[in-house]
Amino acid sequence: MLDRPKVVLFAVVLFLACGANSVIRYEVAPSAESNLLHVRMTLSTKGDALDLQMPNWAPGSYRLVDNYRNVQSFSARGANGAALATEKPDNNTWRVRTSGQSSVVVSYSIPNSYTAGAMHYSGPSTYLYVVGRISEECRLRVAVPEGWRVAVGLDEVADAPNEFRADDYDVLADNPVTLGDFLLDEYRSYGKPHFIVLRGATRADVDRPRLINICKSITDTQGAFFGGLPYNKYVWHFNVTDSVDGGGGLEHLSSTQITLASGLGPRVVSVISHEFFHLWNVKRIRSKPLGPFDYLKLPRTGALWWLEGVTDYYADVLLVRSGLWDANQLHDALISNLTSVRARRERLEVSPYESSWRVSEAANGRGNSQGFGVSYYNTGWIVGFCLDAELRSVTGGKHTLDDVTRALWELCKDSKPGFEEDEIRKQLVRFGGERLGAYYDQIVMKPGDINVESQLAKLGVAIEQKEEPFADVGFDWSADKEAKGARVRRIRVEAAVGGLQEGDIIVSVDGTRLPSDTNKNIATALSQTFSKAGVGVSMKLLVVRGGGEVEVTVIPFFATRTVTKIVESQNCTQEQRALRRAWYRPGL
């Protein structure tokens, strides 16, 4: 467990508007008191005017967000310090009348939130860009108060405290920044430094050695999958929440930002793996419309089912190969995604390709990953599995979807311009023959049910549903740290709960007090207690109600629930078993 400041430098520095004319310089100065980021741009200029714009969407999040609304106190000055006239030709654009000045300093502010001693921001909602000059080199200087630290995935500028460089605006905008008071850990993979940044009020509740192991295992496994790591350093920006599991994130070229459940449950581990796999799939393995970007208009590509959904598929498959998950957890992920897909009737009308291609039309033209009732995440996971199983079956295990993914990497790495819309199909045919092309057309290009059961059978397994008995306590609850216990949310069976009421706060079970410090600890303790409950064996609950304590008796009763599992088929062959083992762990 390390807390090294070498990735972050401390100092309040003066902004120097000097250097090569081809460099556009940004300075960001946070204000904890006003919850603002003060941004200053310095750039050379020619002509009578220049236009600046604020991105209206962020790569990786395919929806319009109107970032222009957050720009405050916009102003511009020439090299001589004189104020320059500015105009607003449209919502997203600021025009500066340069009056023959050779350089311009633009200033503005962006709202931010100073929470639990730290601030965090994303590039597309913070940095204006100069129209027509996105390809120019950028420099970022972060002017922080004494004692603040800064973490960002950009390369440092030598001998320049808190200054970082980016090849162009796309790279600058694609690197979020955390600054202030945060926990910092470090590990190395493939000889490169990786930094784990934890912010938020419950950051100290995270099992940091376990999180380091999770991140390093994912890094090592995915680095081995692709044959190395495509960056100089990497930053995990974690915003920690008080919960057992769950989270979300957004990928970047040399970092990610993730909402992290402090309990480090399996779902958030999958999110961590997903966002890291995006280093390749989306950020570098991408269809051509996904870069360089038009920051005012959502891109149109039919490959989001691959770029997001197959990323999700590999995130889970590679967790098994890393040893962080077992095969049953991968099976559960398949069932969960399949259940979500089959719950939506729109799958019979909208193909995976169309759900990707038309994302910019969803939500009245503002974008939405489920705007047409078909999620390219869930559907892409299932399509990825089916294509993988088909390749393994057709080629007798000689080729897999791994080969297709690595072939796309070879086409796109080293800053190549991306693949054409039909390239995934071409690579499937390359490794599996025309049969794979026809199968692609069937499950990617056409709407309808996907026969996952037949693909599972090729690996010698089947979906099985059975009724599982359990002791039901008769009510629903959730952790409530503010109330220092577990809140009763819904009474389902009055006869079982002995006068328990909705809104009661459970503080003790059979004389054992529940923890009250975090939602994670409350939920974990009560879940473990109820999992050991016996049918007909009474439980005494001490609850807080109306300012006083009341004891109630709950008697769990016999109930059943439908459990869906993937099990080995009775007629599974040795060949199918070998294909399945190779799916879990190639080379076994």
pLDDT in tens, 88-141: 999 999 999 998 899 999 999 999 999 999 999 999 999 999 999 999 999 999
Confidence class for position 183, pLDDT limits 50, 70, 90: very high
3-state secondary structure 521-534: HHHHHHHHHHHCCC
Confidence class for position 371, pLDDT limits 50, 70, 90: low
Domain 468-561 homologous superfamily, CATH: PDZ domain (2.30.42.10)
Give the whole-angstrom CA distance, residue 39 versus residue 515.
44
Share of the chain above pLDDT 70, in %: 96
Q: Which residues contact 551 (CB under 8 A, 6 or more apart)?
A: 540, 541, 542, 543
CATH 2.60.40.3650 residue spans of the chain: 5-180
Tokens coding 251:
């990928």
- pTM for the complete prediction? 0.93
Residue 372 has pLDDT above 70, yes or no: yes
Q: pLDDT value at position 360?
A: 83
Q: pLDDT value at position 368?
A: 74
Around Cβ 144, how many Cβ atoms within 10 Å? 21
Backbone angles phi, psi at 266, to 5 degrees: -60, -30
Q: pLDDT value at position 269?
A: 98
Give the whole-angstrom CA distance, residue 26 versus residue 387.
46
Element (H, E) at 582: helix 574-584
Average pLDDT, the chain: 94
Q: Is residue 555 within 8 Å of 536, Cβ to Cβ? A: yes
CATH 2.30.42.10 residue spans of the chain: 468-561
Ramachandran category for residue 436: left, alpha or beta (phi over 0 → left; psi -120 to 50 → alpha): alpha
Residue 31 has pLDDT above 90, yes or no: yes
User: Beta 138-142 vs 24-31: how paired, if at all?
Assistant: parallel
Residue 9 has pLDDT above 50, yes or no: no
Q: What is the mean pLDDT of residues 203-222?
A: 98
**Is domain 297-460+572-588 given the CATH code 3.40.50.300 in the classification?**
no
Residue 268 has pLDDT above 70, yes or no: yes
Summarize pLDDT for 442-462 with one digit per residue, the tens.
999 999 999 999 999 999 999
Residue 220 has pLDDT above 90, yes or no: yes
CATH class of 5-180: mainly beta
Q: pLDDT value at position 588?
A: 53
Tokens coding 397:
């295990």
CATH 1.10.390.10 residue spans of the chain: 297-460+572-588
Q: What is the mean pLDDT of residues 477-497?
A: 96
Give the whole-angstrom CA distance, residue 421 versus residue 427.
12
CATH 3.30.2010.30 residue spans of the chain: 182-279
Confidence class for position 216, pLDDT limits 50, 70, 90: very high
- Torsion angle, CA of 345/299/247/68, rounded to 10 degrees? -120
Confidence class for position 7, pLDDT limits 50, 70, 90: very low
Choosing among 3.20.20.70, 3.30.465.10, 3.30.2010.30, 3.40.50.720, the CATH entry for 182-279 is 3.30.2010.30
